[in-house]
Structure 1
Amino acid sequence: MPSIQVPEGYSYAIAAASSTILLNFWQSIRVNTARKQAGIAYPQLYAEKAEVQASKSALIFNCTQRAHQNTLETTPHNILAILVTGLTYPCVAAGLGAVWVFGRVLYTIGYSTGEPSKRNSRGGFLSSLGSLGLMLATTFTVGKLVLAEL
């Protein structure tokens, strides 16, 4: 059975993957603050259309909630990509992971303004760039590992 050796520098990849915990926590605080300001009670996930039309804070809540949800939808894939790529290229994995996390911070700040188009400013671009880089690096890494087994 093949074994996996953790390379020197893998702790950087682990740090990048672990930073997603802080990102999630920070986004959760922003969502809860926006929820309170908008007066949207649990378990309501989003403000209704009428609430949004009546209140800018309801729109801001929806946008903040969506930024967090979108991050949660992609976090598992990016964590896996960081950890797999890190097995061969730990600094590349850590760098691309950091780009993705930093991009998500900027994405959240932009989206949370209540102007959804601001999510695609620098933050959307950076997080997409980091995610694409991780996808390509993981594909290359897995291909290299599989070919080494043949």
Structure 2
Amino acid sequence: MSTTITVPAGFAYLAPAFASTVLLLLGQTINVSRHRKLANIPYPQVYAENKEAEASKAAYIFNCAQRAHQNTLEQLPVLYVTTILTALKYPVVASSALGFWALTRVSYTRGYSTGEPKKRGSFLFKLGSLISVGLIFSSVYVSGAVANFY
């Protein structure tokens, strides 16, 4: 018995969407590395200790930049799965959503890396959060639709 998986037209749009997240992570890595150097935080220390961050604005900003990067890494597995599931039925919508989410994370990272965490919550960030929720719901819908198809 063989099984054939057929992907919908437009599924190839996932490639640039996923590539946008790679570019986002690369930019965040560079940002964290730059702030690590400015704060003089040695490897393998992941964050500046509380006393270091209290004594040095650069160390505090490093922690903010690192947290923005880490938060992105925490969200990506869910976004990748929900994007792929949504793309089974709506590949252009799913690809556009993921690509736009990556763009909103640039604003989030830039705001957070100012050392004023409240600046991470721009309009774009809030829109990105809605996109995340939309992908979750659309993936559940598509999964149910696909399951009913078979």
**What corresponds to 2:4 in structure 1?**
3
Percent identity of equivalent pairs = 47
Native 8 Å contact 2:86 2:142 kept in 1: yes
Residues 33-52 of structure 1 mapped to structure 2, 5 A cutoff: 33-52=34-53
- Taking the aligned partners of 1:44 and 1:113, their CA distance within structure 2 comes to 21
Work out whether residues 82 and 135 of structure 2, in 8 Å CA contact, stay in contact via their aligned partners in 1. yes
Moved over 6 A (4+): none
Task: Kindly state the Cα deviation for residue 105 of structure 1 after the two structures are TM-superposed.
Answer: 0.9
Partner of 2:110: 109
> Structure 2 counterpart of 1:25, which letter?
L
Q: Could you report, residue by residue, the CA deviation over 1:21-65 in whole angstroms, capped at 9, with x for unpaired residues?
A: 111111000000000000000111111111111111111100000
Indicate conservation of the 8 Å contact 2:21/2:99, yes or no: no
1:69 maps to 70
Q: How many pairs were matched up?
A: 149
Q: Partners of 2:146 and 2:13 in 1: how far apart?
A: 20
Which position in structure 1 is the counterpart of 2:61?
A: 60
Q: Which runs of 5+ in 2 are unaligned?
A: none
TM-score (norm 2): 0.93
Coordinate RMSD, CA, aligned: 1.3
**1:2: Cα distance to partner?**
5.1
Which amino acid in 1 is paired with 2:29? S
After superposition, residues 1-150 of structure 1 pair within 5 angstroms as 3-149=4-150
Q: What are the ranges of 5 or more consecutive residues in structure 1 without an aligned counterpart? A: none
> Do the aligned partners of residues 145 and 2 (structure 1) sit closer, same or farther apart at CA in structure 2, a change above 3 Å counting?
farther
In the alignment, the residues of structure 1 paired with residue 97 and residue 138 of structure 2 have an alpha-carbon distance, to the nearest angstrom, of 9
Normalising by the residue count of structure 1, what TM-score does the alignment of the two structures yield? 0.93
Say if 1:46 and 1:62, in contact at 8 Å, map to a contact too: yes
SS of aligned partner of 1:37: helix
CA distance in 1: counterparts of 2:124 and 2:48, whole angstroms: 24
